[in-house]
Amino acid sequence: MTLPRPLPEPRSRAPDIVRVASGNFLEMYDFMVFGYFAAAIGAAYFPSDDPLGTLLKSLATFGVGFLMRPLGAVILGSFTDRYGRRKGLLLTLALMSIGIVTLAVTPAYATIGVLAPVLILFGRLLQGFSAGAELGNVSVYLAEIAPPGHKGFYVSWQSASQQVAVVVAALVGVALSSVLDAAQLAAWGWRIPLVLGCAVVPFIFLLRRHLRESDEFERRGERLTSREIARSLWAGRGAVLGGVALVLMTTVSFYMITAYTPTFGKLLHLPERANLWVTAGVGLSNLIWLPLMGALSDRIGRRPILIACTVLAVLTAYPAMAWLVDEPSIGKLIAVELWLSAIYASYNSAMVVYLTEVVPASVRASGFSLAYSLATAVGGFTPFIVTWLIGRTGNLAIPGAWLTGAALISLAAVLFAHRQPIVPSADGLGTKGPAAS
């Protein structure tokens, strides 16, 4: 009689998933709040007679934090590869917390003058520095604690925690717009979501303090020094650039359908509260698709999903946006955003775990983080870039063209890069093999 195959231990690992994903939630929550209230933040810190100019300055400040991510990826990622996933995750959380507090308490330009935008810029740069390794640390940790054959499902919870942040931040925005008028929101109401983010910091620290180190990291013998890690990353710069191209569609599509949606809705003259509801719906859609498609990638492999999603984005992104802006409505906005959400979440669920599999274990956190952060340094500027392009061309559908370009680059990376990736072996340490994933 054949005994049934034992099931993985999701319950015993679930607390670690929650502990590691909680900080990822905080990082994305703060990014989303900044994106949702970009116009109000711009008015507070970058006052100008030109509303578009004020918005562009605010969106540029939102994006400039992404420029610090590559530096954070190398410095903090190498720290994590050398001293452990747990210590790295605690360090990125500490730096992230300083950034969010700075944004929450800095007085407006009218109160302290030019020091206000300087402090806001400092807060964003510090957040970008910490975020450069946070996402990579979380993804690598989840990949290393996953049972064999379930990496896609486990790693998908890194992105899923971000979607919870998208939903929560949007619902907070809806609630505020229900009880405060536009003048109150612009004057001080936008600070409330940031203060709420500060309030949960101690709780997240408490969760992460009890995080256990991954078994795979502890099994590793000799660990590279920071200099050796940097040398390895430089030697593998071709693979890193391939990873950047692979990640690009994720970062462009994510910030376009989440952080930029309230601003884009305003440009379409759609109701502000309805735009936030649409954004919450996008986050919920992403949250559903991510673990489902992550589990599917465990069954059929990563590359079929990556190819299908990039092709769909190339074929449909611009036509969908053109259809939306022809006669804008909330119904059309919902339809387009949910379609792009399905493409983004399906692609991302396979892409993130694929990236953890093609980076050698000795530089896994730093290599993953560097590739992802370099792509985010481009994709994170999506709200600024597409707003500038709309201003220059007058074409409200231009965000679709921007996404199409990113999808073409990622499709090329999937087709031509990493033909022989490192795929997980039975012991989880990785072996060279064909691109089965």
CA angle 249–436–290, rounded 5-degree value: 45
SS3 130: helix
pTM of the predicted structure, to 2 decimals: 0.75
- What pLDDT score does 404 carry? 96
At the fourth CATH level, which superfamily is domain 14-215+224-432?
MFS general substrate transporter like domains (1.20.1250.20)
Q: Where are the domains of the chain?
A: 14-215+224-432
Burial 37-61 (b: 16+ CB within 10 A, else e): bbbbbbbbbbeeeeeeebbbbbbbb
Which tokens sit at 415? Answer: 């087709």
Segment 23-69, tens digit of pLDDT:
778 877 887 787 777 777 877 887 777 777 777 777 777 677 778 88
Sequence-separated (6 or more) residues with CB below 8 Å from residue 71: 129, 132
Per-residue pLDDT for 84 more than 50?
yes
The pLDDT tens digits for 202-213 are 888 888 887 787
Give residue 280's pLDDT: 86
φ/ψ bin of 50: left (φ > 0), alpha (ψ from -120 to 50), beta (otherwise):
beta
pLDDT of residue 224: 67
**Least confident window among 65-79, 133-147, 218-232, 317-331:** 218-232
Of residues 98 and 219, more confidently modeled: 98
Residue 194 and residue 120: Cα distance in Å, rounded?
Answer: 13
